[in-house]
Structure 1
Amino acid sequence: MPCAVGTLTITSYDEDTWEDLAGGGKLARVSVRQALPGDVTGEGCVEWLVRYLDDGSAKFVGLQRISGSVAGRSGNFVVSALGVFDGNLAEGTWTVLDGLATDELAGMSGAGHFYVFGMDAAFDLAYDLE
């Protein structure tokens, strides 16, 4: 299975608290847009649901749509993401969702990891294209 590696840059970040929790922490919704150069080229948009703790750490889940190209093939695909934030670095896993890839990426499957530091991130994505 080929593995794409690359970076992404956050181009917009919008966070809204939807509930301050009794006992500390909060629940938030975060909308992010990204630019992706490299093995996966294009744009990403992700919606995160975040559970912050009082110490600033967090756990999050989200869905991310990437529009662009992988290995020279164009289309869109969607990944589910699960991760943790220690107050400085966020890291997590991606899983390509079956049946949501389009155009030349239709049938794509795969999984990977991401690491976010500030407004930049690095990722790897092992993938299979039908």
Structure 2
Amino acid sequence: MAQQVKGEFEVKRTPEGGCDLGDGVVAGHFRFDKRFHGALDATAVVHMLAVGTEVEGSAAYVAVERISGALEGRVGAFLTQHNGTLDRGSPTLTVSVVPDSGTGELKGLSGRMTIDIRDGAHFYSFDYELQRQE
């Protein structure tokens, strides 16, 4: 049965060296350190690659994130994969738990997270399932 938790998180962005994509094209590389509050009481490290295009408002990013802490009291860690696009100003973002990445009491975790930014504050909504491990 799917469950949902919501809360707020803080994020700190640190630029890393760019990533050479060939022919003089460089993707931005950034590290984000996050602190989640609420039913997801955890810290996270994210590495993101981002690119823009010649068209105003069109861009994309991919990222891998490791979240470590407690989810409704269950302690462990898991990975998420981010896939974001901006199509002439229209955003799409998918943040999914990497299959079989849960550790500790989070083994068997699956789910998706949404991120919302309002008035400079960051909020998450995490829909998840936790399958019993044998």
Q: Contact between 2:76 and 2:104, CA under 8 Å: does it hold in 1?
A: yes
Question: C-alpha displacement at 1:21, in angstroms?
Answer: 8.2
Alpha-carbon deviation of 1:124? 1.0
Q: 2:105 aligns to what SS in structure 1?
A: helix
Higher-Rg structure is 2
Partner residue, 2:9: 8
**Secondary structure in structure 1 of the residue aligned to 2:101:** coil
Shift of 1:56: 6.2
SS class of match (1:104): helix
Alpha-carbon separation, structure 2, partners of 1:2 and 1:112: 12
Cα shift at 1:13: 2.2
Q: Which residue of 2 is the match for residue 100 of structure 1?
A: 101
Q: How does 1:18-97 map to 2 (within 5 A)?
A: 18-19=19-20, 26-54=26-54, 55=56, 57-84=58-85, 92-97=93-98
Kindly state the Cα deviation for residue 42 of structure 1 after the two structures are TM-superposed: 1.2
Tell me the SS of whatever aligns to 1:98.
coil
- CA distance, structure 2, for counterparts of residue 100 and residue 74 of structure 1: 14
* Structure 1: gaps of 5 or more residues: none
Q: Give the share of equivalent positions with the same residue, in percent.
A: 23
The answer to whether the 8 Å contact 2:60/2:86 transfers is yes
Note if contact 2:13-2:30 (Cα within 8 Å) is conserved in structure 1.
no
Structure 2: 5+ residue stretches without partners? none
Q: How many residues align?
A: 129
SS of residue in 2 equivalent to 1:50: strand
Deviation for aligned residue 1:85:
5.2
